[in-house]
Every structure is written in structure tokens, then in C-alpha cells.
Amino acid sequence: MDQEVWADKGTAVRVRAPPLLHLCTQLLPHPTAAGKLLLSSLNGMQPPHCTKKKQIAKMSSTNSSGDPAAVRVVGGWASPFVNRVVVALKLKGVEHEMLQETVGKKSELLLRSNPVHKKIPVLLHHGKPIAESLIIVEYIDEVWPASNGTPSILPRDPYGRAVERFWAKYIDDRIPPGIRVLRGSVEEDKDKAAGEMSTALQHLEEAFVKCSQGKQYFGGDNIGYLDIALGSFLGWIRAVEKIAGVELLNETKVPNLAAWADRFCAHPAVVDVVPDADRLVEFTVQHAALLRAVNVPK
């Protein structure tokens, strides 16, 4: 299940909308000036490489839905789970509209669209909601199949799909918990978490060698399901390396994975999606400060 450990909570608005500063009064009964400033700063952070507040992704493709409003993503730019969905859409050349959740209060749209888990991302396709990032990625692959140069995301053969689903679950079981500890979201042994993440990445190094068969990506010649599943965390992996002072994507220990990470982040479908590590460090600092302000004793 996708986790909201990256402050993916808030009121859904199109990216062009201004931050909802009045939400601070819902967070704090008597909000301080510092609390208002922190909330304003956090909500005002722009997605990576985004120079305009309006962010409607458009790509020329025969797979295009033709209407960005037909495909909408409810999410937040800092969430790796949301990034999975956006990368998959861009890989398929599907026009879509991003509905950013701002920090403060879960939106009515989110609560209606995902009433069970109440988490992002949610894909709205002609108004019909689909939740859970990996389920959404598979849905995208089925609805917009490979054609005219756009690749399949999952392997075509059943065994290949089963193998990649196994490793995708392994990624979600091992990587997010370690990131939560190393970024300081939970009070646990950081050395232990770093060791467990390093072990997981070594297993994924072996998986890469087998799945890629000497090619550039887990998916072969182009990025696929496992590339998206793991690659969405690369910004956060680099960020927690800086926050916790650890080295995870070590070129000596996981040389193939380290080289793959650079290729993945440079891919046209990824380069404007996965956040820069420094932006995520800044986001983490501001979010931690906001939580401290919210929890100030009355």
C-alpha cells in the first residue's frame, strides 16, 4: 500500500492555484507567524524544473488521450508513488493534468476518490478513480498499449511479469521504510536502516543484471515496470544520503545499479519528474519545522 510519508496531504487544487494559507488555522488553533510562514513556504515550493505554476503535461503521441482533463493525477510532486504514475503517463505519451495536494488537509476529491486508504496517488480517467501506484502503472500499460514507438511497461510473457511484480513488491517492502528512518520521520536506528537498505540494493543489483540481460534498463532497451518502481525513489535515496550522511548507491558495491540510476534520471520521461535531491532535502527541513510548529505545547 502506498504510504503518505512525504507530506502528501492537503487540499487538491490545480497547480496554478495559490497556496491555501488559511489551512494553517485548521492545523493550529492559534497559529504563530512562524507556523504560517512555514506552511506558506512548504506549499509554495515548486515541482522540480517547473517554472510555471500551471503544469499540464502534453506530449505528441498516437496514444494521447486528446484531452488533458480526461486523465488527471491527484498527488504531490515530492511523492515517489505519484512520480511513478507521472513517469508511466509520460512514457506512453498520455496528456494529463496534475492536481497538486497542498499541505494541510486531505481534499474532498482525494477522500471521494480513495475512501479506503485516503492516500495519493489517484488516477482519474474520465472521472473514474484508480488508486495504488503500481496498480495505476499496470492500468496505464493496459489502457495505452505499446504502439508506434511507445514501449510496453510490463513484460509480455507471464513469467517475466511475475518476476517483475515480485521485485516491485520487494522494493515497496524495503525501500520506503528505510527512507522514513533516514530522513528522520520515525525514531529508529539509522545505522540499522542504512544497512538494511544497502542489503536490499545489493539484491536489486543482482536483479538488474538478470532482468536487463546486459541492456541499459531493467526493462531492456527502454524503461519498464521495475525501472519505474525503483527509479521513483532515486531522488529520495540521494536526499537521505545527504540528510543521514550515508552512502547507499555505492559505485563499488552496486556498480550496475549506480550507472542505471544516472541513465534513468536522464530519460526524457523522467528528467522533469523525479525531484532533485537538494529540493527534497529542503522540503524535508521545512516539513519537519512545520510539524514542530504544529506540535508546540499550548
Regarding whether 181 and 79 lie in a shared domain, the answer is no
Interacting residues of 141 by C-beta distance below 8 A, sequence separation 6+: 88, 92, 152, 153, 154, 225
Block means of pLDDT (10 residues each) for the chain, 298 residues, are 48 34 38 56 57 36 59 96 98 96 86 96 98 98 90 96 98 98 88 97 98 97 98 98 96 98 98 97 89 69
pLDDT for 188? 83
Regarding whether 134 and 183 lie in a shared domain, the answer is no
Please provide the distance, in angstroms rounded to a whole number, between the alpha carbons at the two ends of the chain. Answer: 35
pLDDT for 33? 56
Q: What's the grid cell of residue 182?
A: 533516514
216: domain CATH number is 1.20.1050.10
Q: What's the grid cell of residue 253?
A: 558495491
- Is residue 7 assigned to a domain? no
Q: Is the dihedral of CA 129, 130, 132, 134 positive or negative?
A: negative
- Is residue 271 assigned to a domain? no
- Is residue 202 assigned to a domain? yes
Regarding whether 177 and 82 lie in a shared domain, the answer is no
Q: Residue 112 is part of which domain span?
A: 12-150+277-294
Q: In whole angstroms, how large is the CA radius of gyration of the chain?
A: 19
Q: Determine the Cα–Cα distance for residues 64 and 85; give it in Å rounded to an integer.
A: 15
Q: What's the grid cell of residue 38?
A: 512555514
pLDDT for 181? 96
Phi, psi of 210 (to 5 degrees): -75, -45
Regarding whether 142 and 163 lie in a shared domain, the answer is no
Regarding whether 138 and 76 lie in a shared domain, the answer is yes
pLDDT for 263? 98
Q: Determine the Cα–Cα distance for residues 288 and 258; give it in Å rounded to an integer.
A: 29
pLDDT for 8? 38
- Is residue 3 assigned to a domain? no
Regarding whether 197 and 124 lie in a shared domain, the answer is no
Pairing of strands 71-75, 122-125: antiparallel
Regarding whether 131 and 93 lie in a shared domain, the answer is yes
- Is residue 1 assigned to a domain? no
- Is residue 136 assigned to a domain? yes
3-state SS, one letter per residue, for the chain: CCCCCCCCCCCEEECCCCCCHHHHHHHCCCCCHHHHHHHHHHHHCCCCCCCCCCCEECCCCCCCCCCHHHEEEEECCCCHHHHHHHHHHHHHCCCEEEEEECCCCCCHHHHHHCCCCCCCCEEEECCEEEECHHHHHHHHHHHCCCECCECCCCCCCHHHHHHHHHHHHHHHHHHHHHHHHHCCCCCCCHHHHHHHHHHHHHHHHHHHHHHHCCCCECCECCCCHHHHHHHCCHHHHHHHHHHHCCCCCCCCCCHHHHHHHHHHHHCCCCCCCCCCHHHHHHHHHHHHHHHHHHCCCC
Q: What's the grid cell of residue 294?
A: 504544529
- Is residue 6 assigned to a domain? no
Regarding whether 138 and 36 lie in a shared domain, the answer is yes
Q: What is the pTM of this model?
A: 0.83
Regarding whether 281 and 144 lie in a shared domain, the answer is yes
- Is residue 224 assigned to a domain? yes
Regarding whether 286 and 184 lie in a shared domain, the answer is no
72: domain CATH number is 3.40.30.10
Regarding whether 17 and 145 lie in a shared domain, the answer is yes
Number of domains in the chain: 2
Regarding whether 140 and 210 lie in a shared domain, the answer is no
Q: What's the grid cell of residue 112?
A: 471521494
